[in-house]
Structure 1
């Protein structure tokens, strides 16, 4: 009798399952009704149609699953549907921005855009390029990385490996506070300290705008991101690795350099690239301390300099039929540069011996 009950129950459990194609069929029907019926037949627009389709899919899935599989399985499918919907909602804006940037940025994607500056180009001219802005972005972000990465990594190592007591807590507190600093505040800080006080000492008493000042402002913005990300990655390194190194007689500083940092390197690189992406897209600090320029200036320590983000801002606000195309192409170039830096950094991080 017991065997028959177990067998019957197993058969019943096996039978009360929706087929794998059922959610896809329900989704197709909801899209047909929502997008097809509401958008085109009722002229409700694509946004209203998508909302109706999502609601129909969720309601139909829950009702059908409850009738076939039971309330418990229906709740599981409802939760999975909500998570999938949240993912789609988060993905759609990203895809929309990427598609818009690519489609509009291809308009001026030519050699003239990458090999010429805006020197001598008026708002009514169709030519001109962003060579000076690309050069400025590479120099400013490069110098900021050289300044910030050693400082941020050293601060994270101190907090995790050496920091004890109130000093470490105060460092963590100020790092957290700096994370939320607006970019304009960082630009004002460098403007009041470096441009107005320090630079006159080397420029015959006159304040000097430069790309290096912009790098300092970008460093202020990048530092807390690098410190926090590196700190979290270093904490994830198992203590057994450290203890094994100490048991072999390896000094602590050498264990950190040879074992701890290589193990946490992929996560540290990710944090650095997040900071680089933010720095490359900042406009206000560059405008305040670098001034902006229409001509090519390869010296970041002397003279005004611009960046791609500032170039986009200038072109987007120019009353010209040719300026929007230059702005969109510059935006596409900036996204491509950040993507290239990220890919190269990931490839470098994968060469770590302890992360293979």
Structure 2
């Protein structure tokens, strides 16, 4: 090596030779192609499933589907109009109530885990959250059965909402914790330096800054819960008719789309099979519309 610190070629040993522009171009194209191929591999099965459900169920979507009850099996045998209006309304009631319960509890648990890591209750909270997250959905339904159905002495929409709450809670808590942890600590220090109490800094600064992550976690939890049928078998049970009173939606057996979809799929009537595919379309539309509405609301704010 020469005295000036350069090698035989006059290039410093610490300086790597630059890649040619052509090599960089083709490397970029290769990685872009791999990412595009991976995306297509993920989307193609999803599009196949959605297309198949739409093709099979589009014929079952009619006015009677959205306005009539399912009723007794004899209605299908006699060719009388049947529908799933009670199922659609029951799904909206149970899922909305589950969201109203799970969102504040899940966000509160996530805030506790992220913002107060040294709190003595945190190890127990994390253990309970991980245990609930690892439980099969049917066990969550049995838990709601023991806590709600047995004391009340009847199946109910409230019990179904509690079962779905158990499904949503750990997902929302984990998503909230992850979303809050990526917020820089300098923002918290700035709020505390102004003399604001810790809870005020969290509610007025940290949580709004992480709202995109929070909404994403809520949507994932909702999508997971809205398709669960097993927990509802032990809780809301199902119903072929509209409740006679409005309190029946909460205090009596309630029908939901995932549970009804399963029962229609194993029924011996062709008309009910078509209604099952149509129910799948409605369920997908519910999830997709919820995602779109949430994203639009965030973008406007």
Residue of structure 2 in register with 1:146 after alignment: 100
Larger radius of gyration: 1
Matched residue, 1:112: 64
Question: What residue number does 2:169 align with?
Answer: 223
Asked if 1:127 is matched to 2:81, the reply is: yes
Find the counterpart in structure 1 of residue 6 from structure 2.
none
Cα separation, 1, equivalents of 2:250 and 2:60: 31
2:282 matches 1:333: yes
1:155 deviates by 0.8
- Of structures 1 and 2, the one with the larger relative CO (CA 8 A, separation 6+) is 2
* Structure-1 separation of matches of 2:131 and 2:73: 43
Structure 1, unmatched stretches of 5+, are 3-8, 18-68, 200-206
Deviations 1:34-66 (A, max 9, x none): xxxxxxxxxxxxxxxxxxxxxxxxxxxxxxxxx
Other-structure match for 2:3: none
> Where do 1:229-244 residues align within 5 Å?
229-244=175-190
Deviation readout 1:10-40 (Å, 9 max, x if unpaired): 9x956xx5xxxxxxxxxxxxxxxxxxxxxxx
* Distance (Å, rounded) in 2 between the aligned partners of 1:282 and 1:227: 19
Q: How does 1:176-255 map to 2 (within 5 A)?
A: 176-196=130-150, 198-199=151-152, 207-255=153-201
CA contact (8 A) 1:121 1:127 kept: no
Secondary structure of 1:209's counterpart equals coil
Aligned equivalent of 1:61? none
**Take 2:38 and 2:119, find their aligned partners in 1: how far apart are those partners?**
42
State the aligned residue count: 281
User: Which residue of the partner structure matches residue 256 of structure 2?
Assistant: 307
Normalising by structure 2, report the TM-score. Answer: 0.85
> TM-score w.r.t. structure 1 length?
0.73
Q: CA deviation at 1:249?
A: 1.8
How much does 1:166 deviate? 5.4
Q: Is the 8 A contact 1:126 1:322 kept in 2?
A: no
Deviation track 1:218-238 (CA, whole Å, cap 9, x = no partner) reads: 111110000000110011112
Q: Answer yes or no: is the 8 Å Cα contact 1:153–1:227 preserved in 2.
A: yes
Partner of 2:218: 272
Contact 1:183 1:282 in 2 (8 A): yes
What is the Cα-based RMSD across aligned positions, in Å?
Answer: 2.5
Change (3 A) 1:92 1:218: same
1:92 aligns to 2:44 (yes or no)? yes
- CA 251–350 in structure 1, closer or farther in 2 if over 3 Å, else same: farther
Structure 2: gaps spanning 5 or more residues: 1-8, 10-16
Shift of 1:76: 7.0
Other-structure match for 2:122 = 168
